[in-house]
Amino acid sequence: AGAFRVDENLRIVTADGYPLLGTNGEPFVLASEDVQIDKEGNVYNEGVYINTIQLTNFTNVEGLRKIGDNLYEALDDAGAVAANARVHQGFLEGSNVDLVKQMTDMIEISRSYETHQRMASIINDTLGKAVNEIGKV
């Protein structure tokens, strides 16, 4: 789940430089930058099969230990091989939330709330004055 690249040592790595691991737990070491990945996660270098990307579905999040930089280490029975997972080379899955729009909407709602709160306070003050004035008559 990320933007992978080939580093200067011909390893497939994440944007932060962490190596992508195969099903054997080892990083992918290539002969060249000519890489193809099929939908099952099989990695080919210059047309030759190298290994398969290790796809894991963590069914027990309690079995993960945080090690920093948004990275987790799987402990004991944290996960199993993901069923029906697909890899799409050349695609990067992003958030389905427009953060700027959400922040603008939140500010707009907050301002609207403050306006309504002030209006309620003014109405309350007006009713209080009316009750006091009627009581004087």
Contacts of 37-44 with C-beta under 8 Å, sequence gap 24+, read 37/87, 37/89, 38/87, 38/89, 39/86, 39/87, 39/88, 40/86, 40/87, 41/85, 41/87, 43/12
Tell me the pLDDT tens digit for each residue of 67-93: 888 788 888 777 766 667 778 887 777
In-domain check, residue 29: yes
When pLDDT is cut at 50, 70 and 90, the band that residue 137 belongs to is low
- 60 with 110, same domain: the answer is no
Q: Is 91 within a domain?
A: no
Domain of residue 100: give its range: 96-137
Q: Are 21 and 63 part of one and the same domain?
A: yes
Examine the fold and report which residue of 81, 104, 125 is the final residue of a domain before the chain moves on. Answer: 81
Are residues 72 and 109 located together in one domain of the fold? no
- How many domains does the chain contain in total? 2
- Domain stops at, among 81, 112, 128: 81
Q: For the segment 9-64, what is each residue's pLDDT rounded down to a tens digit?
A: 999 998 889 999 998 989 999 999 999 999 888 999 999 999 999 887 777 888 88
**Is residue 90 assigned to a domain?**
no
pTM, full prediction: 0.59
Residue 86 domain-assigned (yes or no) = no
**In a shared domain, residues 65 and 100:** no
In a shared domain, residues 72 and 14: yes
pLDDT of residue 6: 93
